[in-house]
Structure formats: structure tokens, C-alpha cells
Structure 1
Amino acid sequence: MNRISVAAFGTALSLLLATPALAHEAEVDGDALQRDVTVLSHDNMEGREAGTRGYARAAGYVAGRMAALGLEPAGDDGTYFQAVPMLRVDRAEEGNALAISGMEPLTMWEDFYVTGSSQQESGQLEAELVFIGYGLDLPERDDFDGVDLDGKIALRVYGGPANLNTEEAAHYRSTLAARVAEQGAVGMLLVWTPALSNIYTWERLTGQARHSAGMTWLNGDGTPHSDSPGLLVSGILHPDVSRALLDGLDFDYDDLVAAEMTTEKRFPSFATGRSARIGFASHFTRIDAPNVIGMLPGSDPSLTDEYVVLTAHLDHVGIQPTEEEGDDEIYNGAMDNAVGVSSMIEVARLLAEHPPRRPVLFVALTAEEKGLVGSEYNAANPTVPAEQVVANVNLDMPIASYAFSDVVAFGAERSNMYPQVVAAAEEYGLTLSPDPQPEQGFFTRSDQYSYVKQGVPAVYLDIGFGNGGEAAQGEFLSTHYHQASDEVELVDFAALERFTGANFAIARNIANMDERPEWNAGDFFGETFAAGTGGEH
């Protein structure tokens, strides 16, 4: 693990010496943390799925905690709630089908699965299949060059070339649907390769997809928000189907796998000569599930128009049916993300005792599990002027199950907030480690990315792999993540107290910065999402 650089340590030391209050750890209220996690992950909350009564209960509880701490209501109409109008998309039991020319009949969930979009409840389409590799559109690499996607179904693979920054590769993956939609594609299917097998199994992916629902937020005119209008359906092909699909072509599955093992991972883009007929069917439901927002005013009159936004998603995945009678069906989500929300609430208490220079918004977000919906809505429709949102610090599922020794601050090194993060880690005797799993692209996979897309520099704080963390986190992810077993008993509250203290120190340091938080000059995300260009405000 990388140790903190000499320059960074010097910055941290100067910050520690500058203010006596920074010379010792804050007194985190461990009892309050345990109480909040226990309440939010209780069966009464019914798994906190967005749009359910369990989520409404959890939102009410968080609003009550904000009020008790003296935070000002910062939602709609003088309340703690920002209404988020949403469309829920549930896959229908019948009507989802895929047939590929020249291939044997295919079975949903065994050979493939498809998902309709929020734009059309059900329908059928038939179109040619066009392979586009990673779907990159870069000056040095254009996977759309020489192919026509208008009215076609795009075939893509997971991942990115090894010489592309992993966070940037994750950005390109997350925006691929928008790019193929711009090219006129009506559908997109993922060809399964060994790179994906290193992250998921087919059984786990389909098991999660069977019981999941999609959501998007609604525009002011009531139409569903979409980053990829015209793209009606997406899906994933089983490894065996992926191989059979490319069988007999000039560039076949073995060629694809071989190219995937190289550094540049270059694939040709081409029309496959095959076509596909896809049926998709969903049920649409209009729902509401609010973000919960409280505000702590700043102490410096010259910085009242610079808000630091702290976020943690409140929702989980709700109640999921089981085949065995008596099995636990309530997915309480203690680690995901009751600990994050509880930590944010405690940070609010600590900051309220010593108000920082800048005002701070505390946002418990809805529908993260449905695709970052609540944060996308809040980032695009903030309850304060958009240009006054200057920084985001996000918490999402810190696996506080062991005595950790290091933290990871995704995105911190991309902005002038980095020295503040270094100082906070030093204050708590923690190593600031690099991303131990860069291939996962976590910086673009949680709520901070919604603010990044609006031009706001962000930090996503997580726990590192030190002191046995790799094994402990691996155990949680393989056994308890998105399972009914994610219960409060898994939480090491001494570890959560330490994590909360570090989170407090980061938020405090950023809110007290002399200079406005800014992206570093030339940073990829800072240039890609210049302030105000990331979406609707």
C-alpha cells in the first residue's frame, strides 16, 4: 500500500498545527450510531425499498433526527423532504423474449435476459446486430467508425483497454447507452466474456435481476427522464450464447477472448450478418419517494453561497420472496447503507457543535439501488442554486465489520480537496490508500457520480483493505451483500465510530477551506463535465 507522500504529509501537519481543535479526535457518540443503525435496519423498515411504506418510515425517522439536531429544513416548502417523482418499471412475467437468426431457440434467464426501458411499456423490435466492442468514442479510438447503428441492436463487451484510466473507463461504460442512442440504436446486448466472469457469475447476476425493478425520475412535464432516448431494450447474453453468436464469423469468440487479454484490447466493429427479434414487457407504476435534506448554516458570511453536500443513500432492496417457507424475506441493509446514513447523521451533530465556515447540506438519498435516481434528481434539481453547490462527500456501504487501518477516498486526488482528506486521515491515524480494486470503477458507481456529472468535485469515502480488510470485505460481499443476512449484528461499532470520525474530519476540513473546492487543472472529469453542462438544472 502506498504511504502518504512527503508533500501531502507536510500539508496535513500544517493543518493539524494551525487549529488546536484538529489536534485530537472528535468524540463520536457510539450509542447514537448504534441506535440509528439498529432502527434503520429493523424489520419494521421492511428493507427500505424506494416507494414503499418502509422507505417512508425510514425517511420520517431521518427527518426527525435532523430536526432534533437543529438542522434547518432544506427540502420543499420548508420541509425536510424533496419530492422525487418517479416511474417504477417492473419486468412482466411474460412477454420478454429473444430470437437470433440462425441460432437455436433461447430461454429467458437460462440463455439471456432483457429489460425494457422507461420509454415504452411493452413492444417488439427486430433489427440487425452490430458489434461495437467497448463502444468507445475517443480521438485515438472510435469504435463507431465504419458501422451504422441507426435502427440496429448494438453488441458490446464489458470493460476497457488496460491503458485507459480505470475511472475513466468506468465513465465510458456508464455512458455507453447514451452514446449508442445518439447513433440511433434501438437496443443493446452485452456479450459475456471472461472479463465479466472475473466480477460476476451468471447465476448471481440473473438472481439479482429477477427481483429488481428499474426506476427513473420524471421531468417537470411528467415524462420519464432518460439519458438514452430511443434505446428501448437492453440485455445480457449467457457465455454459451455469446460464443454461438460469433461462431463462424471472421472475428469469432476465440478472437474476442484473445484480444481481451492484450493491453490495448482492440476489436473490430462490424455488422454480424445476424438479426434479432426482441420482445419486452414491463409494468409501469408512478411512485414518490423523497430525498431527506437538512442544512447547517455556515459561520462565515462571505461563504454563504458555497454549499458542501454530504450524501448517503437511505434505500435498500426491500422484501424479496423466497422459495422456502419461513426464510427471512426482509433485506434490512444494515451495512448497505444504514451505517452510511447513521454516520452522516452523527457528522451533522459534530459539525453543529462547531459550525464550519461553509453551509453544509445533509442529504439522505432515495433510489440509489435503482440506478442513482435520487442523487441524479437532487444534483440536477438542487434545493439551493445549482452554482452554489461546490463539493460533495458521499458515503455508500463502508464495510465496518473489522478493525480497519486505512481508508480510500475515491476522487479526492482529482481536486484541491485532496490535502484536506490527507489531513483528516492523518488525524485519525489512518493510511490513505489507493483504490485496491480499480477494475470495479467505484467512482462512477455511487451517488457522488451524479454530482460529478453536474461539474461538482466529489469524494467517495470508503474503508480500505488493510489489517485483513480484503478478506473481511470479500466475505461480506460474497455472503451478505444484497442478502437478508445484512443485519446489524455484522457491524463493528468501534470501527464505525472511527470511520465516522474520519468522515467528520473530511467534511469539516472541506467546509473550512480558504479556497473554493475546484477540480485540478486538466482533470478528466473536470473537463468532461464543466460546471453547468452535466444535465438539467
Structure 2
Amino acid sequence: MKHLILAATAALSLAACEALPGDDAPLDIPTAEAGDISQQTMIDVTRMLSSDEFEGRMPGSAGEEKTVAYLIEKFKAAGLQPGNGDSWVQDVPLVEITGKDFQPLTVQGTGVDLSFAFSKDWVGVTYQEQDQTSIEASELVFVGYGIKADERDWNDYAGMDMKGKTAVILVNDPDFDTAGLEGTFNGKAMTYYGRWTYKYEEAGRQGAAGALIIHDTEPASYGWNVVESSWTGPQAYPQRGDNAPPMTQMNGWVQKDAARQIVEAAGQDFDALLEAAKQPGFKPVPLGLTVSTAFGNDIRKYDSKNVIGVLPGTERPDEYVIHTAHWDHLGRCTPAPDGDDICNGAVDNATGTAALVALAEAQAKAGAPKRSMVFLAVTAEEQGLLGADYYAANPVFPLSQTVGGINMDAFLVGGPSKDVTVVGPGKSQLDEFLSAALTADGRVATPNPAPEAGYYYRSDHFAFAKRGVPMLYVDGGEDLVDGGREAGEALSDEYRANRYHGPKDEFSEDWDWSGVMQDLQLFYRIGRMLADSTSWPNWVEGDEFKATRDDSCAAGEGC
């Protein structure tokens, strides 16, 4: 979604300077001719997937059945082969957990007896498939930003056994309020360590019984209303396998004012603790208080499907370049004033799914490249990147043999642009392939206006990135040929205000597809360059995902 963006030349050149895994040779970036990409395919597939017949493409619905059948038909016609053995699909077992009967969050200690109301002061969920969740007199420990980053010599859990305890955690990174992009955690540019997903995962690895993130609007980049709406009601997750990572009993958020009451009741200076947490060498602070709460859970299990097609490579078929887009949307939703209650998801993400089909057609028409190309339409992105995360945790094609890839999530259809917007610049050597493709297309990248929001960690490519696979996430440009940046910003603002995640995200026969086709040419070139290259792009030195990629390469047969 127009999340933006690229730090342009500096970031692109930075990636070019990094060494390949086990090799100091420069990157092999072959030239790639423009592809024969069908605009009619983009129109037809987008129109069909966003029609009322597909009922908003909600996972687990009749709309999913129609979507999956249609995508299989289109992948076959494009010239792909089934991507999961003889099957076009990967089953994605999901569990939906709906909390109920929430007790207050109570905090107790010597002379302390505090009570906080669910939804108003705190929210909490469980990722564990259990009928009842209960946290009883769990010791509270303030763990700063809840980060353990060996490559940055940072450990907020140092010396603390968290078993049975509840971690109280700050959102974002220690240097989020830095003016520039320099710092232990990239200054104001959020890293993976700043995301709530990481903080809960690390608390689980540390053996914590619970994790409570302190909400603060500026570092979170959204208000409490977003937390309250997102963390109440049904929550969907992939079903846990036999070797699932450890997790807490409860993950939640607490209002900043409530957190201040808790910390000050413990005899600590809240603002001083926040400042201390930003400094290297911070150690966890036991608060001398306990927390308790309980709630019930209604559990529903169901299967959804990822759709996978492959174009086998001619010389190195066991090396893979992946293209991803999510096929799902919200199904039926809050009605518009005219009574329309189908969230059709034309832009988000029928366009991205159509792009998978159109790129598959064009790549097959050009002849198979040297490496294999995978086209993966994932489910349940809108419920938390679940289909992508399930594939990445259970890959059909080994991640150690997956070279890298491109994610496509929502093309705003607004005519040609002079630029592109790239989320998460300067992270990997894929930037050098992007730079070469931009040069070939005569386009540029734009500065990043909101690096602190951490949008790189909020779409399907992230499931691969956190497991070490370099991924690009590129949006269309905002410097439109007709109207410049003002027109581009107006287009984005109008979509968010009137159509995004609502019933009016509908297909229009009047759309100007020329800008989308520009972007598809860029993706086509990048995919072709990667698939014909001999290089294995890595993350830049110091990136949070580099160690994972290096370990994956060392253990596998790829890279």
C-alpha cells in the first residue's frame, strides 16, 4: 500500500558494496529485455477477482473456493506447472481464537492494588490453543525494548530468567526519536526489533509467561483506537506444528498512562526508565509487583490454501526466484451508505494477484530462465500475513535454495509516474538489481518520508525476510507524469479515505493502467535478472536478517 520508499542512490550503492556469502566477487546482474506483459490479462483477472461473485475473497468461504479454482485455471493457462508436487495448492491450517469473559488486569504488591479494564486500559490475546488463559501472580519485569540482537551487542534480557514472569516492553527501537538514519538501530528507521511481532516472539523465546507492550502513539505510529480494534474480537493464526517455537501464554498491550501507574507504584521513575532503556548496557528491572488476569477462548479450526505455480529453470532448476501476492480480502464488511457490504478488494489485492498471472504469462512466453521462478498467491494476509508465514515455515522449495523475491501488494491505478516507491531500502543486495532495472526503464526512486513506521515488516515478504530470504517490496510511484507529486498524493489520499478496506474498493472500467504496466516491466526485469544470474544476493552487513541468511546458507545446498 503506498507505504514508501527508497533512500535512492545512497541505499542502492550501499548494497552494491557488500560481499556475497563466502565470496568477494561483484554481483552478476545480467541485462533483461522488456517483457511482453498483457494489460488485458491485468484487466480481466482484476475484474473477475473483485467481482461480487467472489464475495470479497474471505479465507474459509465460498469466495475462497472460487478464487483458488480461478487462479489454478489462470496459472495453467499461463504456462506454469503445479508448484507443490502434482498439486497447485498448499493447505494452510488456520485456527481462529476469540477471547471472551475478560477479567481486569490486576497488579499487586506491598501496598499496591491496581485494576485495569479490558479494552479501555489493556488488551490481550493468546496464541495457544487452549479454552482458558490464566496469568496468576506473574512477576512483572521491565525489559526496555525487549531486544536481543547479538550483531548489535544488545540484550535487554541480560542476566534475567524470565520463566513464569511477564515482560513489560517499549514499542519501536531504542533510537526511534533520532532525527537521522544513523544509530545502533538505524536511527528513526524502524528495524524488525521495533515491531510488536518480534517483541512477542523474543519474550516467548525467553520463557516469559506474558508480554505487555506499552502503547505510545508516536513510536507505534498509530493510536490506541487501532490497537483496541485490532486486538479485540476473532484472531486468526496458523495452527502450531510439532516443532513450533515457544510462545507466551498471553500477549497484550497496555495504555501508556496505565503503564506509568504501574511503574510508579513500583517506586520507579517512569521517564527515567524510558531514558535508561535507550542506552547500551541496559539491564532488565524487576518491578517487585505481580500481574494477574484471565479470559476464555472460543476456538475454530479450518483450512485455507496458498496457490503455487512454477516455471522450471533450464540450468539450475533447484534454485528459485519467488514472486508473492495475497489473493484474500475481507469478505463481507460494514456496509456503505448504499447498503453494499462486499469488500471487493479490487486494488487490495486483486491487482497484485493479477500481476502474478500476467508476469507468469510473460516469463513463460519469453522462455524459461536459468533458475526456476515460483509464483505464490498466499492466503490470509489481511488476518496477519498467515499464508505467507505458513509457507515460509513449511516451504515447498527450501529457503536455502530460494535466491530472493518480489512482493506485490496493491497497485493504485493512476497513470504513469516518473518514480517508484520502495519499502525497506538499503537492506539487501537486491537493491542493486533494482537499480539496474530502474536504469533500464528510465525511472528513479524517491526519498523515504516515513522510515519510522516500519512498513517493511507489514506485508507478506516479511515472512521470508525474517527467515533470511532477501525480498523486495516495491510500490508504484507518486510523482505522476500528469500532475506530479500533488496528483500522486491526492490519488493515495483519496484511496485511503474512501476505498481502502471498504466496499468501494471496486474495479473500474475507466482505470488508466499505463502506470501499473510500467511497474510490471520493472518487476519483470528484476525477476529475469535474478533468475539468469549466478549471484546469491545477501542482506547488508549489520542487517537484522543477515545472520539468519548466513546460517541458512551454511546448512543448505543453495547460496
Considering the TM-score relative to the shorter chain, is it more than 0.5? yes
Correspondence for 1:342 = 354
* Aligned 8 A contact 1:160 1:265 in 2: no
Q: Secondary structure at the match of 1:247?
A: helix
Match of 1:375 in 2: 388
Higher relative CO (CA 8 A, sep ≥ 6), structure 1 or 2? 2
The runs of 4+ residues in structure 1 deviating greater than 6 Å are 5-8, 257-260, 265-268, 533-537
Aligned to 2:305: 290
275-284 or 400-409: which moved more? 400-409
Q: Which amino acid aligns with 1:32?
A: T
Residue in structure 2 matched with residue 510 of structure 1 by the alignment:
530
Matching residue of 2:227: 205
Contact conserved, 1:155 with 1:189, CA < 8 A, in 2?
Answer: yes
Code of the aligned partner of 1:227: P
Question: By how many angstroms is 1:306 displaced?
Answer: 1.2
| Counterpart pick for 1:332 among 335, 344, 347 | 344
Taking the aligned partners of 2:451 and 2:126, their CA distance within structure 1 comes to 30
**Which residue pairs with 2:263 in the alignment?**
246
State the AA in 2 paired with 1:243: R
Q: Hey, what's the Cα distance between the residues in 1 that align with 2:406 and 2:397?
A: 17
SS in structure 1 of the partner of residue 371 of structure 2: coil
Partner of 1:100: 107
Gaps of 5+ in 2: 1-5, 17-26, 176-182, 480-484
The answer on whether the counterparts of 2:216 and 2:223 sit within 8 Å (CA) in structure 1 is: no
Mapped partners of 1:360, 1:306: distance in 2: 9
Shift of 1:518: 4.2
Is the Cα contact below 8 Å between 1:407 and 1:433 reproduced in 2? yes
SS across alignment from 1:504: helix
2:50 alignment counterpart? 41
The structure 1 residue matched to 2:550, chosen from 518, 522, 530, is 530
Using a 3 Å threshold, how does the CA distance of structure 1 residues 26 and 189 change in structure 2: closer, same or farther?
same
Corresponding residue for residue 393 of structure 1: 406
* Greater mean alpha carbon deviation, residues 439-448 or residues 242-251: 242-251
TM alignment of 1:406-421, pairs within 5 A: 406-410=419-423, 413-421=426-434
Identity of aligned residues (%): 28
Q: Which amino acid aligns with 1:349?
A: E
Residue 499 and residue 96 in structure 1: after superposition, are their counterparts in 2 closer, same or farther (change >3 A)?
Answer: farther
Look up the equivalent residue of 1:423 and give its one-letter code. Answer: A
Question: Residues 148 and 170 from structure 1, CA distance in 2 versus in 1: closer, same or farther, beyond 3 angstroms?
Answer: same
Q: Is the 8 A contact 2:135 2:292 kept in 1?
A: yes
1:285-330 Cα offsets, whole Å, 9 max, x none, are: 22111110111122x3x322211111111122333356x9964433
Q: CA deviation at 1:398?
A: 4.1
Bigger shift: residues 243-252 or 35-44: 243-252
Q: CA deviation at 1:65?
A: 0.8
1:408-464 CA distance string (max 9 Å, x none): 344674444333211222233321235432212233332222223333222222234
Q: Retained in 1: the 8 A contact 2:143–2:167?
A: yes
Opposite residue 306 of structure 2, the aligned amino acid is N
Distance change >3 Å, CA 236–CA 518, structure 1 → 2 = closer
Relative to 1, partners in 2 of residues 1:326 and 1:517: Cα closer, same or farther, differing over 3 Å? same
The answer on whether the counterparts of 1:454 and 1:533 sit within 8 Å (CA) in structure 2 is no
Question: Does the Cα contact within 8 Å between 1:193 and 1:257 map onto a contact in 2?
Answer: no
Q: Quick check: 2:400–2:552 contact (8 Å CA) kept in 1?
A: yes
Aligned to 1:484: 503
Look up the equivalent residue of 2:351 and give its one-letter code.
V
Of 163, 186, 189, which residue of structure 2 is paired with 1:165?
Answer: 186
**Partner residue of 2:88?**
80
How far apart are residue 2 of structure 1 and its match? 5.5
Asked if the contact 1:337–1:397 (Cα under 8 Å) also holds between the matched residues in 2, the reply is: yes
2:310, 2:372 within 8 Å by CA — same for their partners in 1? yes
- Counterpart residue number, 2:245: 227
Q: Does 1:496 align with 2:499?
A: no
* 1:374 to partner: Cα distance: 1.6
Question: Aligned pair in 2 of structure 1 residues 91, 422: CA closer, same or farther (>3 Å)?
Answer: same
- What secondary structure, in the 3-state scheme, does the structure 2 residue paired with 1:285 have? strand
Q: In structure 1, what is the Cα distance between the partners aligned to 2:11 and 2:209?
A: 52
Q: Secondary structure at the match of 1:484?
A: coil
- Rounded to whole Å, the distance in 1 between the matches of 2:403 and 2:124 is 39
TM-score, normalised to structure 1's length?
0.84
The answer on whether the counterparts of 1:159 and 1:195 sit within 8 Å (CA) in structure 2 is no
Q: State the shift of 1:354 in Å.
A: 0.6
8 Å CA contact 1:30, 1:493 repeated in 2: yes
* Preserved CA contact (<8 Å) 2:7 2:448: no
Residue in 2 aligned with 1:429?
442
Structure 1 residues 412, 361: CA separation in 2 closer, same or farther (over 3 Å shift)? farther
Equivalenced residue count is: 516
Cα distance in 2 between the residues matched to 1:96 and 1:464: 48
State whether residues 335 and 491 of structure 1, in contact with CA within 8 Å, keep that contact through their aligned partners in structure 2.
Answer: no
Q: Are the counterparts in 2 of residues 455 and 534 from structure 1 also a CA contact under 8 Å?
A: no
